[in-house]
Structure 1
Amino acid sequence: MPDPREHPHSEAWKTALTVLQEVAPPAIPEGAHVTTVQIEYPPGDEGAPPHRHPGPAFGYVLEGEMRFELEGEGERIVRAGETFWEPGGDVIHYQDGNNLTDTRLRFLVTMLCVPGQPMLVPVDEDELKRRAHLRAPRPS
């Protein structure tokens, strides 16, 4: 066995960690399990229709730019190397589409899922109309 004194550990580990996102602990559904998925949209794709997740979701954009909008928050652009999160539960996720027309959008999402429930539940038009007052003003 090699002598560890002959090959000391690098000191790089002391500065290797960079915090990308930190949030107060959201509500975690009982019996939740964690799933990590990669999502890829072609250039200009609108993404998923308005939807919600049963538990919180934490994401990281790998490539491209995402139009991101949650109920009660203004639309924003999340670029490659940036993070996003949503609390899940009753909050509607309005947009996750590709903001660029010349490159794909790729992002990772780690979500806390509830056994027996889909990880993404589309919201119907009637509910969108009933909750329209909760949506932030649209950009001009």
Structure 2
Amino acid sequence: MEQSNNIIRKPLLTANLGERTVTSVEIKEITLAPGQKAGLHLHPCPVTGYIAKGTAIMQVEGEEELILNTGDAFYEPADVHIAQFSNYSDSEPMTFIAFYLLNGNQELIKML
């Protein structure tokens, strides 16, 4: 954690986007109901985000599940199957903030 003049900067995530042009960023606050699961999907653009409230389960296809708690950051690469992004709780909603790193006019998500 870096601190200077009472400003604290806590590193959350570094994501390598490769050789990609980003012309705009669209930011969405998304809330999943208790127990809600996002189906298999992909994003045509890279997505970074963080869990604002609650706990999520995230799994990029072929990788292990990740448990993401409030304050945790995540990265979903472009054009990669996301096997799971779900609300871990069966009793509380989960809210996350997603940053869609767009190149021109792109879809945000494709359900598979």
Q: Under TM normalisation by the shorter chain, which class is it?
A: 0.7 to 0.9
* CA offset digits 1:89-136 (Å, max 9, x no partner): 2x101111101011110000111124343110112xxxxxxxxxxxxx
Deviation for aligned residue 1:31: 6.1
* Aligned-partner SS, 2:108: coil
Query: TM-score, normalised to structure 2's length?
Result: 0.86
Cα distance change, pair 36–99 in 1 and its aligned pair in 2 (3 A): same
Point out where structure 2 has 5 or more consecutive residues left out of the alignment. Answer: none
| Aligned pair partner of 1:44 in 25, 35, 42 | 35
What corresponds to 2:59 in structure 1?
A: 69
Relative contact order (alpha carbons < 8 A, sep ≥ 6): 1 or 2 greater? 2
* CA offset digits 1:4-32 (Å, max 9, x no partner): xxxxxx9213xx1111111333342x464
**Match status 1:97 vs 2:89:** no
More strand by share: 2
Deviation for aligned residue 1:81: 1.1
Aligned 1:104-115 pairs, distance under 5 A: 104-115=93-104
Query: TM-score, normalised to structure 1's length?
Result: 0.70
Please give the alpha-carbon distance, in whole angstroms, between the structure 2 residues aligned to 1:31 and 1:22: 16
The percent of aligned pairs where both chains have the same amino acid is: 27
Point out where structure 1 has 5 or more consecutive residues left out of the alignment. Answer: 1-9, 124-140
How many pairs does the alignment contain?
109
CA RMSD of aligned residues (A): 1.8
* Aligned-partner SS, 1:118: coil
What corresponds to 2:6 in structure 1?
A: 12
More helix by share: 1
Contact in 2 for aligned 1:40/1:106 (Cα 8 Å): yes
Question: Which structure has the larger Rg over C-alpha atoms?
Answer: 1
